[in-house]
Amino acid sequence: MLIDTYGRVATDLRVSLTDRCNLRCTYCMPEEGLQWLAKPDLLTDDEIVRLIRIAVTELGVTEVRFTGGEPLLRPGLVGIVERCAALAPRPQMSLTTNGIGLARTASALRDAGLDRVNVSLDTLRPEVFQALTRRKRHDDVLRGLDAARTAGLTPVKVNAVLMPGLNDDEAPDLLAWAVENDYELRFIEQMPLDAQHGWKRDGMITAGDILTSLRTRFTLTAEDGGERGSAPAERWLVDGGPARVGVIASVTRPFCRACDRTRLTADGQVRTCLFAREESDLRGALRSGAPDEEIARLWRLAMWGKKAGSGLDDPSFLQPDRPMSAIGG
């Protein structure tokens, strides 16, 4: 079990498979990209599967989310999914992706055992997509979403970040489109995880702003009385249901008290929080020949030291040294 001093138990593992990405989203990295991790620093496929096996069989993890960077850029992705699907107990497995390349891999991932996907798409307008991502790949993302739905990687969730002056007027249009196409839309507040450290709280679109905009066109009813537990998204029924929309308000309505996540970076570091500035090295132990029991002990020790919250409201808050592409979304 991965428990901390506040009694929270981590059962949800986020695994970053690569820090590389084929987009250059303005809220994530600069236009010229970043200095990528050297290949020898990355965990191998065998190392990733071993750590996931330890997490599932020794530490009580029940859900695994593959992230990046862009995880579809990992050559061994399908094989990793297939090997993890064979674990007993079998974890629920999902993937967070920008959708580029999903059209050609969705069926293979489903056959390997992947359960569902989250696809990032911030706009319905190709020109705005290009401004946000600095790439002309809007049609590729739409094809990827359609392929995921056809393959049965459902519910297909769409993650959208609204940025002032670019797509902050699109919330109702995005929701109407998601409902029509049977996708579950989730808006995510922009977080201080950009490599440029240009995030400003007073310039972000908040959960309150998003809900106000949505309610100009839709009736939203809080699902399950508004209790979200450890789920990051607060969810609402749209016009009575069954369609739903979620808002992940990591900045203005944090869910730290019920957090059930543990994270592995692409280079084998345990992170207890997306906003942590400290990491615990498992790669070194793996490569020095440590047995599973020692790896599990180090992981438990790392999680025992998890802080009460993200610290975003602390005046002394500092962004993580590593950007989101390196630590996993």
**Residues forming the annotated binding site for GTP?**
14, 65, 96, 157, 261-263
Rg (alpha carbons) of the chain, rounded to whole number: 19
- Name the binding residues: 14, 21, 25, 27-28, 65, 69, 96, 120, 157, 191, 256, 259, 261-263, 273
Cα gap 80→157, rounded to integer Å: 22
- Name the binding residues for S-adenosyl-L-methionine: 27, 69, 120, 191
Show the tokens assigned to 135. 């790439």
Cβ neighbours, 10 Å, residue 75: 11
- Name the binding residues for [4Fe-4S] cluster: 21, 25, 28, 256, 259, 273
Cα gap 155→236, rounded to integer Å: 16
Q: Which residues contact 180 (CB under 8 A, 6 or more apart)?
A: none
Cα gap 171→308, rounded to integer Å: 32
Cα gap 20→14, rounded to integer Å: 16
Strand, helix or coil for residue 272: coil
Show the tokens assigned to 11. 């059962």
The one-character DSSP state at 321 is S
Show the tokens assigned to 163. 């940025």
Cα gap 247→203, rounded to integer Å: 18
Cα gap 66→219, rounded to integer Å: 34
Strand, helix or coil for residue 191: coil
